[in-house]
Structure 1
Amino acid sequence: MQLDVVSDTVCPWCYIGKKRLDQALVMHGGEGITLAWRPFQLDASIPAEGVDRKAYMEKKFGAERAKEVGNTIREFGEAVGIDFRFDRIERSPNTLDSHRLIRWAGTAGCQNEMVDILFRRYFEDGEDIGLHEVLLEAASEAGMDVDIVRDLLSKDADKELIRQEDALARQMGIQGVPSFVINSQWVMVGAQEPEMLVRMFNKLLAKEAEATAAQ
């Protein structure tokens, strides 16, 4: 079973969704499931240097609503072991380069770990994941070849491919993240509870086994 998770690196619900997915994979065992992370930019219009996060969030939600949303997210985060520290985040970055890094991490065999690293660095450590130096530190933490990543980041490598994958997700009807795409056919939207994901895994894997046996 191919499981593609469509997410953005600055989406707090995607971080929560990942923690729940990790729990589901432990509960299930993960056998027969191939996992990949796919890009989605919630706001591709943010400039490469990023924008002031407080002003950005207040413009998007309003000051009071932004505070309420943050409090709600913190509560859900605590339940899965995330210490959201929105007070540490100064910049809302453009996430294109972080998605490039996640793609390269897939080739290096550490994609799932890289997603975790970027979420933690942004949401808990308050680091600007739009900065190349931060992305290089993340690559080093994941055990990637930093010199290769530095060279790729300095060029336009895979930028257009990331944009195309983002566009494909939207063509599939995906408007919110996280979204779980199973075998390029079925889509579940939202940070699903682990038990729900396990039931989905079992149901679809059983169908695959039946189809294989019938051949």
Structure 2
Amino acid sequence: MSLPVTIDVISDVVCPWCYVGRARLQKALEVAPELAVDIRWRPFQLDPTIPPEGKSRQAYLAGKFGDEERIRQMHEQLSTAGEADGIDFNFEAIEISPNTLNAHRVIRWAATAEPGVQDLLVGRLFALYFEEGANIGDPTVLIQAARDAGMDAAVVETLLATDADRAEVEQEIATAQQMGVTGVPCFLLEGRYAVVGAQEPASLADAIRQVAQAKADGKLEQGQN
């Protein structure tokens, strides 16, 4: 068994390519079962200016992209990509474009739960939004998603009603931006090698293999300050 490679996945749960990226990361690990990884989901907001109650999805897309034909083509491209990766995008079901700060707070708390819970939660939030059209800015939806992933829903409900970890999540997002992250998903391997975009599973597996080998050879430590 190789030394585990830490993968920080910088993403936003309203980013469709991040959903595709998660599916492709899972496939990459399936085709390279010899790889040991530690996956950590990190926050990013595609649009932090969306109010807490969210915006009309239709109005938001029209304001951002304008051309209905362009939006249709984007959705068609994503639906095709999603189908190949087992994702059933249902863009017509989405009524609200949410502010995702609270979702990222819950994802942060999930990191302290049992191994795998954080990834389960992220997957559930993606599915809720993109396949079921749920408003993942709604605390009730977030609490149920946390429960579905195996978290203590009562604790999540209590924390969501406060400002717990709000500043910490905002700082993480700012740090990602300072690092030069402008697009997501961004897979940060061992905190130093970035793979940007929803790469094909084979390419992603190859990148992880290379970093795993470098780590096993002690070459990563040589580059540390």
Is the TM value for this pair above 0.5? yes
Query: Paired residue for 2:102?
Result: 97
2:73 counterpart of 1:107: no
C-alpha separation in 2, matches of 1:29 and 1:159: 36
The one-letter amino acid paired with 2:81 is: F
Query: Paired residue for 1:175?
Result: 182
Query: Paired residue for 1:188?
Result: 195
C-alpha separation in 1, matches of 2:73 and 2:64: 13
Which whole-Å deviations, capped at 9, do the CAs of 1:152-177 have from their partners, x for residues lacking one? 00000101111000000011100000
Classify 1:30/1:103 alpha carbon distance in 2 versus 1 (closer, same or farther; 3 Å): farther
Tell me by how many angstroms 1:182 deviates: 1.1
C-alpha separation in 1, matches of 2:192 and 2:74: 32
Query: Paired residue for 1:197?
Result: 204
The one-letter amino acid paired with 2:119 is: N
Aligned length: 214
Poorly superposed stretches of 4+, deviation over 6 Å: none
2:130 counterpart of 1:126: no
The one-letter amino acid paired with 1:192 is: Q
Identity %: 47
C-alpha separation in 2, matches of 1:30 and 1:57: 42
Which of the residues 139, 152, 156 maps onto 1:149?
156
Which whole-Å deviations, capped at 9, do the CAs of 1:88-115 have from their partners, x for residues lacking one? 0000000000001111111112001001
Q: CA RMSD in A?
A: 1.4
- Specify which structure has the higher proportion of helix: 1
2:41 counterpart of 1:34: no
Contact 2:189 2:208 in 1 (8 A): no
Which whole-Å deviations, capped at 9, do the CAs of 1:31-69 have from their partners, x for residues lacking one? 432110000000000000000001100111122211111
Unpaired segments ≥5 residues, structure 2:
none
